[in-house]
């Protein structure tokens, strides 16, 4: 038996194996080539039937980006065919750059009765401020202070005239008074000490039925301390060394010491205060006098001082930058005790007393300055001497008085 394979079938099978391998490799290469050559560049789509040059602005927010551009809402928006052509940014449209300002108000609407200009003032930093035109709205109500900041407080000059000067059987007079007020911290500015030197002179005419000196003088220095003892409680403590005389004789009776002690409770700040205390007048007819009552300011144009011995009611009738005009009515009792020398050369003391009802007008300025003019009726007049000789009751008369304060 030979070592070589002589079977024809077996020999044909051996020769067919390389052919099969070649066919398989050729098939794989053909498939790969078909896939590789099939990757062409994407085809450009044909242009649409409707041109995309201009489109109306859609309802809604404005689109922003490189493919859109437009100057304002409501106008045409251009859509660029080429995304690379970016339009330059021109800022936000004018229509969305803040809220639209309202037109100016021509006149203020009418308001209900009883509502004053101070009730129409807008709050601070209110948006109504810049909307209202100049001169058409009211500012914040002003608050005038009766005091100044600093040492100097007030300088006053007043004059008064009593009628009946032409009747030789009656008593007439002309009074002139001036005073100066300064302030010192005692010990702090919130507890001031007010020092007021003053001088008053009365020029008398008549009466022929008794002997009175032609002039009566009143010089004083008042020291008033105003501490706030506790919150909303203030004290008014005053002492005033005084000289009351005709300056014709010098004696111990010419010197007198007067004063007052009051406590004020600020129940409703700037609206309602309670007052109680005592006045030390040190006159021959009145030594001590109780004082007190209620001070009420229900609004900015009305002041009620139900105080004894000097009530007062005031109504504001005009207001302007830095000033206020007020009408007022008040009542008071006047008079004092002076040391005098009688026509006989004897020393004596005379006490004058009257009751007054007055009405007038005053202008108030900030810091306690202003001026005042008033007139009224004087009644219940009496003149009494310490010796009891020559007592006399003058007739009722009129009083005209004016004052200016700096």
DSSP, collapsed to helix, strand or coil, labels residue 148 as coil
pLDDT over threshold 60, residue 273: yes
- Report whether 314 contacts 306 (CB < 8 A): no
pLDDT over threshold 80, residue 47: no
* Percent of the chain predicted with pLDDT > 70: 65
Among candidates 341, 170, 186, 330, which has minimal Cα distance to 253?
341
pLDDT over threshold 70, residue 300: yes
Mean pLDDT of 286-304: 96
DSSP, collapsed to helix, strand or coil, labels residue 37 as helix
- Predicted pLDDT at 69: 45
Task: Give the separation between CA 160 and CA 163, rounded to whole angstroms.
Answer: 10
- The neighbour count for residue 212, using CB atoms within 10 Å, is 23
Residue 200: band (very low, low, confident or very high) from pLDDT cuts 50, 70, 90:
very high
Provide the mean pLDDT of the chain: 80
Number of H helices, E strands in the chain: 2, 18
Q: Where are the beta strands (DSSP E) in 10-165?
A: 54-55, 68-69, 77-79, 152-162
CA angle, residues 258, 264, 269, in degrees to nearest 5? 150
Task: Give the separation between CA 165 and CA 207, rounded to whole angstroms.
Answer: 9
pLDDT over threshold 50, residue 366: yes
Mean pLDDT of 121-133: 52
Residue 99: band (very low, low, confident or very high) from pLDDT cuts 50, 70, 90:
low
- Report whether 374 contacts 393 (CB < 8 A): no
Which two three-digit tokens encode residue 395? 């007739």
Which two three-digit tokens encode residue 271? 């609206």
pTM, two decimal places: 0.66
Residue 311: band (very low, low, confident or very high) from pLDDT cuts 50, 70, 90:
very high
**Which carries the bigger pLDDT value, residue 356 or residue 168?**
356
Tell me: the pLDDT tens digits for 66-96? 444 444 444 444 444 454 455 665 655 655 5
Domain at 152-405, CATH class? mainly beta
Q: Which residues contact 73 (CB under 8 A, 6 or more apart)?
A: 57, 62, 93, 95, 96
- Report whether 124 contacts 95 (CB < 8 A): no
Tell me: the pLDDT tens digits for 203-235? 998 787 888 999 999 999 999 999 998 999 999
- Report whether 160 contacts 175 (CB < 8 A): yes
- Predicted pLDDT at 125: 57
**Which carries the bigger pLDDT value, residue 61 or residue 375?**
375
Which two three-digit tokens encode residue 165? 């000067």
Q: Which residues pair with 234 in a beta bridge?
A: 228, 264
pLDDT over threshold 90, residue 51: no
Q: How far are the Cα atoms of 60, 113, 116, 301, 372 from residue 110, in angstroms, in the given order?
A: 41, 9, 11, 20, 35
pLDDT over threshold 80, residue 132: no
Exposure b/e, 63-79, CB count within 10 A at least 16 = b:
eeeebebbeeeeeebee
- Write out the residue limits of the CATH 2.40.160 domain(s) in the chain: 152-405
- Predicted pLDDT at 62: 44
* Percent of the chain predicted with pLDDT > 90: 57
């Amino acid at each position: 038996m030979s070592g070589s394979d002589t079977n024809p079938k077996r020999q044909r099978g051996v020769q067919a194996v390389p052919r099969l391998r070649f066919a398989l490799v050729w098939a794989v290469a053909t498939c790969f080539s078909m896939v590789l050559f099939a990757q062409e560049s994407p085809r450009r789509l044909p242009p649409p039937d409707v041109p995309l040059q201009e489109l109306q602005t859609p309802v809604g927010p404005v689109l922003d980006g490189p493919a859109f551009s437009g100057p304002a809402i409501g106008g045409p928006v251009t859509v660029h065919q080429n995304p690379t052509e970016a339009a330059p940014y021109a800022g936000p449209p004018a229509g969305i750059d803040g809220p639209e300002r309202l037109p100016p108000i021509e006149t203020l609407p009418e308001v209900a009765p009883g509502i004053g200009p101070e009730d129409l003032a807008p709050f601070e930093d209110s948006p109504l401020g810049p909307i209202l035109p100049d001169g058409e709205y009211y500012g914040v109500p002003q608050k005038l202070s009766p005091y100044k900041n600093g040492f100097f407080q007030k300088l006053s000059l007043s004059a008064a005239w009593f009628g009946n000067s032409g009747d030789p059987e009656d008593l007439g007079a002309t009074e002139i008074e001036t005073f100066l007020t300064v302030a010192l911290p005692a010990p702090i500015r919130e507890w001031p000490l007010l020092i007021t030197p003053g001088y008053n002179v009365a020029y008398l005419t008549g009466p022929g039925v008794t002997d009175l000196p032609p002039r009566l003088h009143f010089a004083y220095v008042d020291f008033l301390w105003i501490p706030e003892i506790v919150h909303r409680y203030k004290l008014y403590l005053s002492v005033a060394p005084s000289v009351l005389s005709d300056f014709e004789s010098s004696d111990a009776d010419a010197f007198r010491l007067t004063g007052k002690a009051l406590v004020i409770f600020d129940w409703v700040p700037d609206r309602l205060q309670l007052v109680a205390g005592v006045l030390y007048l040190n006159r021959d007819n009145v030594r001590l006098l109780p004082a007190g009552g209620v001070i009420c300011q229900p609004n900015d144009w009305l002041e009620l001082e139900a105080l004894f011995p000097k009530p007062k009611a005031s109504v504001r009738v005009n207001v302007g930058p830095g000033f206020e005009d007020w009408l007022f009515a008040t009542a008071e009792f006047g008079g004092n005790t002076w040391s005098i020398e009688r026509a006989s050369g004897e020393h004596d003391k005379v006490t004058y007393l009257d009751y007054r009802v007055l009405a007038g007008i005053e202008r108030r300025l900030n810091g306690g300055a202003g001026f005042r003019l008033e007139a009224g009726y004087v009644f219940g007049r009496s003149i009494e001497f310490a010796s009891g000789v020559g007592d006399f009751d003058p007739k009722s008369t009129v009083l005209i008085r004016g004052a200016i304060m700096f």
